[in-house]
Amino acid sequence: MTSTEHGAPPSARSADPRPAATATGRRPGRNRGTLMSRLDVKGSPYLFIAPFFVLFGVFGLFPLLYTVWVSLHEWSLIGGNEGFIGLDNYVRLATDAKFWLALYNTLGIFLIAVVPQLLLALTLADVLNRRIRGQSAFRMTLILPYITSIAALAIVFSQLFGSEFGLINQALGYLGFDPINWRGDKYFSWVAIAVMIDWRWTGYNALIYLAAMQAVPKDVYEAASLDGASRLRQFFQITIPMLRPTIIFTVIISTIGQMQLFTEPAIFDTGGNMAGGTQGQFQTVMMLVFQEAFRYGNYGYGSAIAWVLFVLVVVLGLVNTLISSRIKGA
């Protein structure tokens, strides 16, 4: 950058030592390399990135690392730090049935949500990848659910999935089916929560897939058509393989997000103690963290759970990345 280094007149410069500029002078080429302008060119980049790194360091990185420290202590809301206890919290966690149940629930809800979401989003993208009247209106409606208040819609869905007067059970009754105990039954509660997640994210992912589909060169399809491949076959043997990196990317993002699932099940669970139903049947790991730390005041134990969740997210992310690079290489 030194080649383009041109200072403003020193008078204008020295009046204001900040990199934020007073430089109003338009006299090019003079006073090249004065102290202030050299400081500006050398220092400004660091000054510009500093707010991000400082704020992220203080409110992002530090709490994350401090989680480990807290987890190694007997630490409570009332008593504060009550001393180092080593790995005791982790030992407790390993034998805590509630933790394993919450982990099982989180993974279960994730799988129930992500698989149909993927298939639906791909189908929708394929549907949209045609000559359609009102294409842009359809696209906008698709991401409407993405732009909503999660908590508000979780309240609406909680009523839709109500066991007595919920709209869905009433519809089932109208069609001659027995009502479903959406909150009480473990797997149905997972389904209800998965529906909330998918309602929000399917259209969004469909748009991403649609963009990727439109980047596939048309001559590939033309060649396939000439070879007599059917539309369905083209979808599975051209579109899906071409979209693989995008699909894997969206799956990684969903994994990171859904492992921390909280809002939907927390609101589905009326009562507010984050128990996730009477038997903890839909308590997620993040709900357990919240319950232990903020309802029971066990900061130390809550931090241990949170840290295990963090490691899990990182490991899952790495596995995902590894698989994706393996597939890309193959």
- CA pair distance 107, 243, nearest whole angstrom: 25
Which one of 236, 257, 319, 323 is in contact with another protein (CB under 8 A)? 257
Q: Is 44 in the site for another protein (CB under 8 A)?
A: yes
Q: Is 152 in the site for another protein (CB under 8 A)?
A: yes
Q: Is 230 in the site for another protein (CB under 8 A)?
A: no
Q: Is 116 in the site for another protein (CB under 8 A)?
A: no
CA 244 centroid distance within chain? 20
Which one of 14, 17, 21, 35 is in contact with another protein (CB under 8 A)? 21
One-letter amino acid for residue 152 of the chain: A
- CA pair distance 1, 131, nearest whole angstrom: 49
Which one of 99, 110, 157, 282 is in contact with another protein (CB under 8 A)? 157
Nearer to another protein, 100 or 241 (CB): 241
Q: Is 5 in the site for another protein (CB under 8 A)?
A: yes
- Give the orientation angle of helix 240-259 with respect to helix 186-214, to 10 degrees: 140
As given in the structure block, the two tokens for residue 1 are 């950058």
Minimum Å gap between C-beta 17 and another protein is 11
- How many residues bind another protein (CB under 8 A)? The answer is 131
Which one of 49, 119, 240, 315 is in contact with another protein (CB under 8 A)? 49
Which one of 14, 159, 278, 279 is in contact with another protein (CB under 8 A)? 159
Residue 287 in contact with residue 262, Cβ under 8 Å? yes
Residue 75 in contact with residue 297, Cβ under 8 Å? no
Q: Is 326 in the site for another protein (CB under 8 A)?
A: no
Q: Is 290 in the site for another protein (CB under 8 A)?
A: yes
Residue 36 in contact with residue 18, Cβ under 8 Å? no
Q: Is 322 in the site for another protein (CB under 8 A)?
A: no
- CA pair distance 6, 12, nearest whole angstrom: 13
